[in-house]
Chains A and B, each alone.
Chain A
Amino acid sequence: MIDARRFGRFAEPARLVLVALRDGPRTVALLFDDVRSLDGPVGPGTLYAAIARLERRGLIEAARNGEGRPGYRLGEAGTAPGGTQG
């Protein structure tokens, strides 16, 4: 699902974002923590480079929790078979 050529060095962080969202929507802060727990010291710049690429391709989409905090959930393309398989 993630084209390594298009995602470049952000392919792995992008894959981990998809993995983190597989269990349900996350606020940005929780997503940040999850990705860091999976891949070490991923910074906010790397996280958002991955998010922008995923969102552009419909793999994730923006969401807000009950408190209005921004977050993300899997998009239609991301929930398709193989969508989080990297």
Chain B
Amino acid sequence: MKALVRLYPRAWRDRYEAEVIDLLDQRRPSFRDALDLVVGAVDAHLHPQVGSAVIPWTWRLPGLAVLAVGATWIAATVAVYASGSSSLSGTFLGLSLLAMTVGLPGDYAIRRGRAILAVVGLIAAGVVVAQIAPYPVAVVIAVATVVLFLAGALALAAVRAEIGSTARWALVVGTTIVPALALIPFALGLLAIDPPVLTIRWLLLPYGAAWILLGLRLVVRGSQSIVDPPTGVETALVTAPGRSA
């Protein structure tokens, strides 16, 4: 139960965490109280009362994009289950993977998302390996071309977000190339979903759900988006005296 207090913003915890834990020690909380704490945490993120944090609406964009990713992925999964058809669901999966690559701005990838991106890459790599083997070299070349395009766009996003070093934003590009690799064959309907994806279908729904959770976290916390000015924005987000978000 006390772990739920960690859902609150840092500035809020700096001010109230000890009190709430003291209260929970003295008054045995119910399940309803636990839900109330979760709702309170969402409110504390959306309407911060402690510190001077005011999150620009544009900082919600990455989270909304990631939410769309999860929703699209789950829609694709449901389509696979319902119809067994590869074309429509393949397009959904492709769109979902495209949104993954553009929904994560460079700063997010570096500061909070390396592990998640690595997981994304591994799963997508499995999909690609399962799908791409029987197809001609021309498809691979087409994929590589689009990947280069996407990688370039991501590099620009990373530069705009002022990722410090070349190695760092190269990491951003590298960890998103694999999902991009999986994109094009599906989106163009060149590769079938069945049966390889169906064999790993138990991974698909939790995967979409994970993106939705990530999106919710990003929406409530805010994250500098690629449409924000590249400098000086995040450091202005002071949430408590002497502490920056």
Give the interface of A toward B (CB within 8 A).
Answer: 8, 10, 28-29, 32-33, 41-46, 48-49, 51-53, 55-56, 69-70
Inter-subunit contact B39/A69 (CB<8 Å): no
Q: List 15 A-B contacts (CB under 8 A).
A: A8-B47, A29-B26, A32-B23, A43-B33, A43-B40, A44-B33, A44-B37, A44-B40, A45-B36, A45-B37, A45-B38, A45-B43, A46-B36, A48-B16, A49-B49
Given contacts A49-B40, A52-B44, contact A29 B23 (CB under 8 A): yes
Q: Chain A residue with minimal CB distance to B4?
A: A45
Inter-subunit contact A44/B24 (CB<8 Å): yes
**Distance between Cα atoms of A55 and B85 in the complex (Å):** 58
**Distance between Cα atoms of A41 and B27 in the complex (Å):** 13
Report A-chain residues with C-beta under 8 Å of the C-beta of B43: 10, 45, 49
B227 within 8 A of A: no
Inter-subunit contact B22/A69 (CB<8 Å): yes
**Distance between Cα atoms of A14 and B26 in the complex (Å):** 22
Report B-chain residues with C-beta under 8 Å of the C-beta of A43: 29, 32-33, 35-37, 39-40
B144 within 8 A of A: no
Report B-chain residues with C-beta under 8 Å of the C-beta of A53: 49
Across the A-B interface, how many residue pairs have beta carbons closer than 8 Å? Answer: 64
Smallest beta-carbon distance B54→chain A, Å: 13
Contact with A along B37-66 (1 / 0, CB 8 A): 111110110010110000000000000000
**Distance between Cα atoms of A10 and B49 in the complex (Å):** 13
Inter-subunit contact A48/B27 (CB<8 Å): no
Smallest beta-carbon distance A61→chain B, Å: 13
Report B-chain residues with C-beta under 8 Å of the C-beta of A46: 36, 39-40
Chain B stretch 192-239: residues in CB contact (< 8 A) with chain A: none
Report A-chain residues with C-beta under 8 Å of the C-beta of B27: 29, 32-33
Checking A33, A41, A45, A70 against B19 with a beta-carbon cut-off of 8 angstroms, the contacting residue is A70
Inter-subunit contact A41/B32 (CB<8 Å): yes
Checking A8, A41, A48, A69 against B20 with a beta-carbon cut-off of 8 angstroms, the contacting residue is A48
Q: Chain B residue with minimal CB distance to A71?
A: B19
**Distance between Cα atoms of A53 and B32 in the complex (Å):** 22
**Distance between Cα atoms of A29 and B41 in the complex (Å):** 20
Centre residue among A42, A49, A69 by max chain B CB count within 10 A: A49
Given contacts A52-B12, A70-B19, contact A45 B49 (CB under 8 A): no
Q: Chain A residue with minimal CB distance to B47?
A: A8
Apart from A48-B16, A52-B16, A70-B18, list 10 A-B contacts with CB within 8 A: A29-B26, A43-B32, A43-B35, A43-B39, A44-B23, A44-B40, A45-B36, A45-B39, A49-B44, A53-B49
